[in-house]
Amino acid sequence: MRKSIALLILLSSFAISHALNVQKMGDMKVKLLYNDGDTIFLFEKEPALESTIGKVAWYRLPDTINPIQQSSDYLDAYIGLEHGGGYMIKKGNIRDVFWVFDYEQLRPTISQVDAEQTCENTVLRLIGEVPQIKYTRLNGRINALARTCRVEYMDAMWSNDNAMWIDSIAVQELEFEQDMTVAASPVTTNYVICDMLANQLGIAIDTLYSPVCQPIALKAHPVTITTTRGNKGEMTNEVNRPYSPEDVLNMSAPLEILFKSNGLNADFYQWKLYKGSNLMLTRNDADHRYTFMDKGNYRAVVTISNNECQLDSVEFTISVSESMLLVPNVFTPNGDGANDEFRVAYRSIKEFHCWVYNRWGHLVYEWSDPAKGWDGTIGGKPAAEGAYFYVIRALGTDADENAKYTLKPIYTKKLKKQDDALIGVYQLSGSINLLRGGK
């Protein structure tokens, strides 16, 4: 059986619209493509079409006057077509225009693929020819159908689940040219090139391979891992408490953070830590841990490099809360789970001590962890309801390193004057009412 396809002109009831209906016959492979409104038939080889029954005239562009063939009312007619040729068919006053290409004459003839690496990408240079697909339209303008190819290579993808780099297959579709720029890979790989025209036709062709490339490119996935305190949802009297490893902004001190660069193909690392615009420290480890004590805004900047490449800096912003200490005036240790202990609300406190006295001035309880408190018992027995007197001495992480406690009158005087020497210094005293009531 002759390898051909049936070309049918479909007429609407008003004879004003038409379309091409392509049906494959035998084992001939053909693909219908569109380019800027133009119809293009791509054949595996030996382009040929079968005309429909009923006076269909064929024209070879640019001649639209003299038909090259015309079918009868009763017989089909086959016509051989030229690679790159344009054709017009007419039936009555309806016409259609298309162009035909033979893939055998478009097959790339590449003898070698070279790969030139840079830090950001790899240039694939093809030694040989990738034929262009050009044709002349009715208006005389030369048009082109862009050729594309698929490039596959091994790359690295960051896995959040495994917290590590894993190998993955990367795919890019590019214009099929003598020089093609693809992304650089930080792992050992080669670049595999497949012609998309052959792929669309469903035919096998020679796959092109670049040499194996030893990586110079870099990747990094810097992260911060915050040391947590307690679990989210549990009762706590610490404000801005870091509950999750992702918490880094506006947290209560001490704020301990592990900085991880997660560099791939890197030999050198540099971390810089700034407070405002002032450089605090520089470290050259892949990962480092730092505990923030002082209030303020910080920046952690990491740069990774090897002998050939340097990755642009990645920056994290950290904000440490100023200290705070608030004391309630009542607590209700009745076991209902609400306000059962005398606790302060605090953030960014580095030193703390609280003493509780009864009305006769006897010490009944003391503690030095601001996250804890008094449960309203004395010697394991419930304390009597009523007023108790507390004294608190505390220092915030924003207090001056030479800050000292003073006599209460001096402290009160400096407090009224908003003396900066009292920033982060807490000398508090007052009454706390113990009420039990019912649950």
d(CA 98, CA 148): 21
What's the confidence (pLDDT) of residue 51?
A: 59
pLDDT tens-digit map of 84-107: 999 988 877 788 899 999 999 999
Domains along the chain? 5-104 (no CATH), 107-217 (2.60.40), 220-320 (2.60.40.10), 324-434 (2.60.40)
Pair of tokens at residue 336 = 């209902």
Q: How far apart are CA 27 and CA 34, in angstroms?
A: 23
Contact 47, 5 (CB under 8 A): no
In the prediction, which pLDDT does 252 show? 94
Measured between alpha carbons, how far is 191 from 186 in angstroms, rounded to an integer? 13
Q: Per DSSP, what are the bridge partners of residue 301?
A: 272, 315
Residue 394 has pLDDT above 50, yes or no: yes
Reported as a single tens digit per residue, the pLDDT across 208-219 is 999 999 999 999
DSSP 8-class letter at 379: T
Name the DSSP letter for residue 236. Answer: -
* 3-state SS class at 415: helix
What's the whole-number mean pLDDT along residues 221-243?
89
pLDDT in tens, 239-264: 999 999 998 888 999 999 999 999 99
Residue 25 near residue 3 (C-beta atoms within 8 A)? yes
* Alpha-carbon span 379 to 365, nearest angstrom: 9
SS3 label, residue 104: helix
Contact by Cβ (8 Å): 29, 107 = no
Of the two residues 396 and 21, the one the predictor is more confident about is 396
Whether 38 has a pLDDT exceeding 50, the answer reads yes
Q: Please, which residues bridge with residue 238 across strands?
A: 346
